[in-house]
Chain A
Amino acid sequence: MDFSGWRVLREGLRGHTGWAPLWRAATPKKHYDVLIVGGGGHGLATAYYLAKYHGLTNIAVLEKNWVGGGNVGRNTTIIRSNYLLDGNQPFYELSLRLWEGIEQELNFNAMVSQRGVLNLFHSDAQRDAFRRRGNAMRMHGTDAEWLNAKAVRQMAPFLNYDNARFPIHGGLLQRRGGTVRHDAVAWGYARAASALGVDIIERCEVQGFDVTNGQVQAVETSRGRIEADRIGVAVAGYSSEVMRHANVRLPIESHVLQAFVTEGLKPLIPGVITYGAGHFYISQSDKGGLVFGGDLDGYNSYASRGNLPVVEDVCEGGMSIMPMLGRARLLRSWGGVVDMSMDGSPIIDRTQVGGLYFNGGWCYGGFKATPASGWVFAHLLARESSHPTASAYRFDRFAAGAMIDEKGQGSTPNLH
């Protein structure tokens, strides 16, 4: 089933009776060439790229709940590639380039909107750090613009410029950054993968691995045993829980991150704005809701809901930078369990178990990485070697002291 303007028109005239489900509801086969555990954005993208570019089609994605119920459907939809470090920048730039072509690639409207991501700065030191980051981005061929206070005021006149403690001195702008409709990413990849023959198996929880002579043979699931030659795990906040079944201990803690949305308002915020002096960022969805968030709750958590101190903290941050936010009514808030790694950067690597591969440690920022993560994980699973842009995302970087720590926080996952 192809999507086009013509098709929408035709269905509109026929009472929308011609649409079919986006993907087949598959039942597990006995054996697959590649199994992907986790039907979030990363797992689905991996399966799609494996089928499309690596000639493998005997693939299944196992999802314990339903497609889109994890962090891929809970995030605040921001995409950007404004990283500083060599290990990160080319990878996130690859992702942004893949986002730019995703709708044609998948024939699905993911509502990619490059409305710009603006990071505000409030002190001389912060300005220097942002300039350095902007320069690093440009040296990697990524767009970055430095805005002075006047230019920021033109773009976002509603911000609090006169705050004596945290005046806005300017901002680092990445115009190619923006937002993407998160659910559509999961659905689009699932649909496109399914069309290439990938089995998407929902309500199928992986509960164990069969490892014989150091080689993974099969998974035990809530729907029985499924054999596979290679298994890729991409379960985000549940990484430690799933990998424990294969005796793989990870440099990861699970934490809860909250997000908030207000009632729908008329167009107000031009892009994504982040507050440099408090933990707060905001954008406006196409439906008009102001979507915002801030810090992690800060302690290990597998509860997909947060606590009140962070609600207060985020709202204080919002009021401090954008006082008119106080007039908007909050519609909903929710949380998601995120896989915080020890240096704040992801891991895409083989494990000590033969045939078992891991993709995780995405922290609060893995949505923007979805296409590139799938791209490089598919490469790793198909060719058994790291993709060049992800060659730094290895397990051994911790022992080697080669951390990719954008924030310079050290091994404190809750502070990244």
Chain B
Amino acid sequence: MSSKPVTKPSNWKKSFADKLLQILGTDGVISSPDEIIAYECDGLTGYRVRPICVVLPKSAKEVSEVIKLCDNENIPFVPRGAGTGLSGGALPTEDGIVISLSRMNRILEIDIPNQRIVVEPGVVNLWVTNAVSSSGYYYAPDPSSQLVCTIGGNVAENSGGVHCLKYGVTTNHVLGLEVVLPDGEIVEVGGKTLDHPGYDLLGLFVGSEGLLGIVTKVTLRILRKPESIKTILAAFEKVEDAGASVSGITAKGIIPAGMEIMDNLSIRAVEEAVQAGYPVEAGAILLVELDGPSAEVEAQTPLVIEVFKENWAKEVRVAKDDDERTLFWKGRKSAFAAMGRVSPDYYVQDGVIPRTKLAKVLGEIGKLSTKYGLRVANVFHAGDGNLHPLILYDSSKSGQLEKAEELAGEILKVCVDEGGSITGEHGVGFDKKQFMPLMFSEEDLDTMYLIRCAFDYKGLCNPGKVFPTPRTCVEVGRTSYREHPIEKSGLGERF
């Protein structure tokens, strides 16, 4: 941190940790090296940084006191949920602390008639659905990591899931937040009701990757469980035909809950790992899940099957019961882990393309794979164009990790060239900040930085993430001024 006074005494870390102890007590501060190791990285395991210490506050008030102390002493802080993030968002900063929200994990209020639930940020995604399931409700965003990842992390990353085609991502389900701002002030944004007047800070906060403050309470929308669910699996010789089926289905006026494509390499890996019964010879499979009122699902099913047939499907299976449905999904949901069977290491990429460009982009990825001599398996949230190429490599062979990273970067360039995005759900974090200029101009990025400045003028909250080049608010603020002629002539000053 450039703002850190050079005159800090040599034992400043120890004395800072002592002040934290006073706020949180001994069980609220982790500073022993063996215990800190677990917090040195998140799901982006290639990078590790040791923080001064990790704090485990239990309330917004404690978070606020910790942050005020950081603000006073210019110590950067990094919020952390379960640490499953894949872009290094929770990567600590040296000379900074990690604020883990894992002990703030209570469900505070369940309000079924108003379709709301209020939780603390450390609550695990799946707990939310579990808490309202007996009343016939559920929480829609369902990242594959939902057994572990926290709502706070979901809010920060604007996480998606396999059902977000129809129901939207986290931002469409978060209605209110309590936030501790980077100066320690506790504020509310949004609430249980809709349309709070003023700027949509809620919309800004969701997906802000922990750079605007720390979320300490979240109000979510819960949905009535659909009456009926039907999962259909279709196998194709060519990925193109699976892609064309996706557009064919929406052209019939149907928006399924989810549509997922897997290519041959993924199918084989998954079969080896979990025996989901996928046809291993297929060039691609497409999983379509329809949900809603029974009459609707019944009416949609034959239409979807018709589309498959029109696109030369080799095989179509409709899950007969819940068990078979679960099996169909098991394959898809374990796709990442299954790669461990066919390769010692893999890197998960996350890019988005207009879904009509699928065939073209997969062709390009194939070429890159040949060029780099690394295999790439593809799983794809086909409905919304979110591609997850899994790049297989062997870290014990020198240079392969670097090659894999380079290949991953090339894939992002292809996505952006086709009009897409460098990330659909895993975030920019530390991992992808250098790719931001592919999508955004200097002025676009300055505009985003202005937003950061409104929340965090000093830049202490999760620094070194998202933005490709370090900036300060003074620099960026200057760009939005246009000198008045009087000012220019030296006759008057601003404000």
Tell me, yes or no, whether A binds B. no
